[in-house]
Structure 1
Amino acid sequence: MKQGPHSLGKKIVIFIVLAIAVVAAMLWTRHEKQGGLPGPLREQAVVGIQAGTVERRNLADVRVFSGTLSAEKQYDAAFKVSGRIREIAVHLGDCLERGALIARLDSEEYEQQLAQARAELDVAEAALAEAQSSLVAAERDYQRALKLRDQKVASAAELESAETEQLARQAGVNLAQAQIKQRQAALRAAEVRLSYTTLTADWHNGPETACRFVAGRHVDEGATVAANAPVVTLVDLSLLKAEINVAERDYALLQTGQQARITIDAVPDRSFAGTVVRLAPVFEETSRQARVEIAVDNPDYLLKAGMFARVYIELSRADQAVAAPITAVIRRLGTTGVFVVEEGVARFVEVNPGIEHDGWVQVDGLEVGQQVVTLGHHLLSDGVRVTTGGEADQAPRQVNP
């Protein structure tokens, strides 16, 4: 089939376009291999950058750890005797002062035991009175027999019998006195058991004005509880502890007494002071971390046990250290360094970075006042001309064949 002039012209145009594309691709490849720009133009190119100044600054190495708040003091309040709960006087969240009533048991059985102990003590005291009366009579008979014996009226056997009776009555008195002590002890035990039917908030350490919060209520009125079964859980929120896990490299820099700062998501506009108080002497084998506890004062009870906490601890500090903006420090071919601007030329200088703090990093190998590149590193190589005034030359887009 014969092609028309229009079709033939269309093919010629396509061919010319393809040829131009091939030539352009070849020239671009050559342009890239030669370093992007012809020599004369490349020497004249100036790269626009941003720079900062090396300064002396006080730097602190502050690490952030995640942890959980827990109560420093917490205990379960429980009855020491079993029984049925007649009354519970507290609710979840109540703040109890020392000696406040928590709950009561049905005490009828223990009241009966107390009454019985008192009655037995009364019987023992009556027996003692009787024994003492008998002892008085026996001593009187003995004295009479002794006089009659001196007068040769009574026989030696009668005197001996009177003496034996006196000793027996004395033994009876001693027995009655021992029984009274026994009944008194039983009475005290009954009184103690009866007191155990009333459960109060009680603790030994801490100021008198401090209170304990009811963190949990485990039983209800009418329930029967065994001795020492938890009724409520009480916590002291005036002093909390933040528990964190620390890796080996940070553990070596910690010690008791170090100050810490704690922030809580629930209280976003405030931080709380803390002190490192305990460091675990062993590391967990699975995580290779050790537990560290930080005491946190909480006088207004804003913090609660179980809250997530961020703990900031200063591990080291350098005062008036030579520091550069942290954005100036880069890695090139495995070397850490910065581009220093000297007379409009960027020179790569190797540095040894140290403490990082608040956007600055401690560096060795630089001098105070030097200008370092903070933005535009990816366009630089050693010896490239730079400008920080926004007048950088634009690299030509044309390619010289």
Structure 2
Amino acid sequence: MKRALTIIAVVALFGLAVPTVVRLGWSVYQRIAESQEGPGRGARGGAVAVEVAEVRTGSIRDVDRFTGTLRPNSQFVVAPKIGGRLETLRVNIGDRVDSGDLIATLDNDEYVQQVEQARAELKVAEANVLETKSATDVAEREFKRITALSEKKIVSESDLDVARLQYEATQAKHQVALAQKEHKKAALKADEVRLSYTKIQAAWQDEETSNPGDGQDSVDRRRVVGERFVDAGAMLRANDPIVSILDLNTVIAVVHIIERDYTNVRAGQEATVTTEAYPGRRFTGRVIRVAPLLKEASRQARVEVKVPNPQWLLKGGMFVRVELQFAEREDTTLIPVAALAQRDGKQVVFVADLKAKKARQVPVTLGIVNGEKAEVLSPPLKGHVVTLGQHLLSDGADISLPGEAASTRPATRRGAAQRERSDRPGRPGGQA
């Protein structure tokens, strides 16, 4: 009895397992068959639904965008050349100043006294010069008289020698007096200079910040106080900072470029600068300096862009985006970037024959790629290219356009987007 029950159980299990195995085998067969269809073979030979765009002729620019920071065209600190108590400070943050304007004064009592003393000493030296000059004149006359008498043999040679020595001695004293006078004069001048240092001015030499005809000729050349470091009454040493002065008539955008773009940047290139402080506004500048070396740590080089700033809208420290144009081509063949695909490691497009409803695979060499447009250098293209659905195509595949009823395999947006991520080319300007 037990044996019969065992046989019945085995038969029942076998009956349940056979349908499951059959279904599993059929599923595997279907998957293998689908995987062997390959791109371009629609379900049971149907056409692939695609979207197309016309190949156009136009212009395209090769541009790249960098981020950087603005800094003033020039910046310096006003500081005293001598120490002393800060008596007055005449400017504050944001004040505009001209070259030569008085910024601050130091307590000058001590320096005034030194000047007066130097003037008195100079007067003494001048009087000494007059005295020695008179003595020299007297000695000269006496020497001439003794010389005349000596020629007549009236006086001895020793008397003549004494007169000569006396004359030479007075001449030497007079020269010493003259030298002392010049010394005192120089000392007075030095004291007067030190006294002038108690009046602290903002002084700079204007550099030519504009070219003729660029609209900068009538720009306000004044500068602005950027920072204030001390208050009146503070004791200062020589070279202690008082205020900083900025030149905002022109600002410098400092960006850093990587090695790949380094050879494309040169002095004189036009640049477009934007900042979040003024949305939608674009400022035009020019590259003025390109560093001759790249830093090893970052493999980047410093580039400076001069931007005219007549209204002082741009300020130092602002974050900016700088757009540099490397090249521009006109009357060139353009296609949408969405039309590009990868086949066997090459950039290709599918040219659509709208009459025959066929897609022809064409390898292309790209030039400039900018935004949604790509330049095709070769081969010459005309007509229309597939912009959606090329991930399902192969050379010679049947296609259908939107609105055409057929047993087509639709190119879903999701599938196209996945394919476009793998088909999209690298950096703008890359070539196949």
**Residue of structure 2 equivalent to 1:362:** 375
> 1:394, CA displacement in angstroms?
5.7
Contact 2:111–2:195 (Cα < 8 Å) also in 1: yes
Taking the TM superposition and a 5 Å limit, the aligned residue runs for 1:224-243 are: 224-243=235-254
Instruction: Give aligned-pair identity as a percent.
Output: 39
Partner of 2:99: 98
Match of 1:335 among 337, 340, 346: 346
What SS does structure 1 have at the residue aligned with 2:62? Answer: strand
- Displacement, 1:337? 1.5
2:71 is paired with a residue whose SS is: strand
CA RMSD of aligned residues (A): 3.1
Residue 326 (structure 2) aligns with: 315
1:339-383: CA deviation from partner (whole Å, max 9, x where unpaired): 221121223322222211242101244544321111233454444
Shift of 1:98: 0.8
Aligned amino acid, residue 250 of structure 1: D
Q: Is 1:282 equivalent to 2:283 in the alignment?
A: no
Structure 1 segments unaligned to the other structure (5+ residues): 1-18, 397-401
Residues 344 and 161 of structure 1: CA distance in aligned 2, closer, same or farther (over 3 Å): same
Given that 1:54 and 1:367 are in contact with CA atoms closer than 8 Å, whether structure 2 keeps it comes out as no
Residue in 1 aligned with 2:3?
Answer: none
Correspondence list, 1:202-241, <5 A: 202-206=203-207, 210-241=221-252
Match of 2:172 in 1: 171
- Residue 11 of structure 1 aligns with which residue? none
Structure 1 residue 267 and structure 2 residue 278: aligned?
A: yes
Q: 1:303 aligns with which of 314, 338, 351?
A: 314
Residue 80 of structure 1, CA deviation:
0.8
2:202 alignment partner in structure 1: 201
Equivalent in the alignment of 2:7 = none
SS in 1 for 2:282: strand
Partner residue in 1 for 2:357? 344
1:326 equivalent to 2:337? Answer yes
Match of residue 125 from structure 1:
126
The Cα of 1:313 is off from its aligned counterpart by 1.1
Alignment correspondent of 2:181: 180
SS of the equivalent of 2:230 reads coil
- The residue type paired with residue 326 of structure 2 is L
Q: Structure 1: how far apart are the matches of 2:369 and 2:247?
A: 38
Determine the C-alpha separation between the residues in 1 that align with 2:327 and 2:151.
102
1:44 is displaced (CA, Å) by 6.5
- CA distance in 1 between counterparts of 2:204 and 2:180 reads 36
1:377 aligns with 2:390: yes
Give me the whole-angstrom Cα distance separating, in 1, the residues matched to 2:199 and 2:34: 92
The answer as to whether partners of 2:48 and 2:408 remain within 8 angstroms in 1 is no
Query: CA offsets, 1:36-76, max 9 Å, x none?
Result: 9x9x9945634433211112222221011111112232211
The alpha-carbon deviation at position 21 of structure 1 amounts to: 11
Q: Are residues 325 and 395 of structure 1, via their aligned partners in 2, closer, same or farther at CA, if it must alter by over 3 Å?
A: closer
Alignment partners' CA distance in 2, 1:282 and 1:373: 45
| Letter in structure 1 aligned against 2:399 | V
Partner of 1:387: 400
Residue 384 (structure 1) shift: 3.8
Partner Cα distance (1:247, 1:337) in 2: 29
Moved more, 373-382 or 213-222: 373-382
The verdict on how the C-alpha distance between 1:78 and 1:197 changes in structure 2, with shifts beyond 3 A counting, is: same
Map residues 130-169 of structure 1 onto 2, 5 A cutoff: 130-150=131-151, 152-169=153-170
Deviates more, 1:277-286 or 1:113-122: 277-286
Look up the equivalent residue of 2:187 and give its one-letter code: A
Q: Distance in 1 between matches of 2:20 and 2:378?
A: 51
Length-normalised TM-score, structure 1: 0.85
Task: Assess if the C-alpha contact under 8 Å between 1:241 and 1:295 holds in 2.
Answer: yes
Report if aligned partners of 1:272, 1:296 keep a CA contact under 8 Å in 2: yes
Determine the C-alpha separation between the residues in 2 that align with 1:294 and 1:143: 80
Rounded to whole Å, the distance in 2 between the matches of 1:386 and 1:173 is 115
| Aligned partners of 2:220 and 2:249 also within 8 Å | no
Q: Check whether the contact 2:126–2:181 (CA below 8 A) recurs between aligned residues.
A: yes
Residues 100-141 of structure 1: CA distance to partner in whole angstroms, max 9, x if unpaired? 111111111111111111011011011111112222222333
Aligned counterparts of 1:395 and 1:316: Cα–Cα separation in 2: 43
CA distance in 2, matches of 1:202, 1:185: 25
In structure 2, what residue type is equivalent to 1:318? Answer: R
Change in 2 beyond 3 A, CA 1:97/1:22? farther
Structure 2 residue aligned with 1:56: 57
Please give the alpha-carbon distance, in whole angstroms, between the structure 1 residues aligned to 2:272 and 2:310.
16
Q: What CA deviation, in whole Å up to 9, does each residue of 1:312-358 have, x standing for no partner? A: 11123333222211111122453321222112122332222221124
Structure 1 residue identity aligned to 2:347: T
CA contact (8 A) 1:51 1:372 kept: yes
2-side partners of 1:262 and 1:80: how far apart?
40
Deviations 1:193-219 (A, max 9, x none): 111111111112336951222121122
Partner-residue secondary structure (3-state), 1:327 = helix
Q: Is the 8 A contact 1:262 1:274 kept in 2?
A: yes
The answer on whether the counterparts of 1:97 and 1:209 sit within 8 Å (CA) in structure 2 is no
Instruction: Identify the match of residue 263 of structure 2 among 244, 252, 259.
Output: 252
Q: Which structure 2 residue ranges, 5 or more long, are not aligned?
A: 1-17, 209-218, 410-432
Contact 2:366 2:378 in 1 (8 A): no
In the other structure, the counterpart of 2:108 is: 107
Secondary structure of 2:349 counterpart: strand
Deviation at 1:34, TM superposition (A): 3.8
Tell me, yes or no, if the aligned pair for 1:47 and 1:392 is still in contact at 8 Å.
no
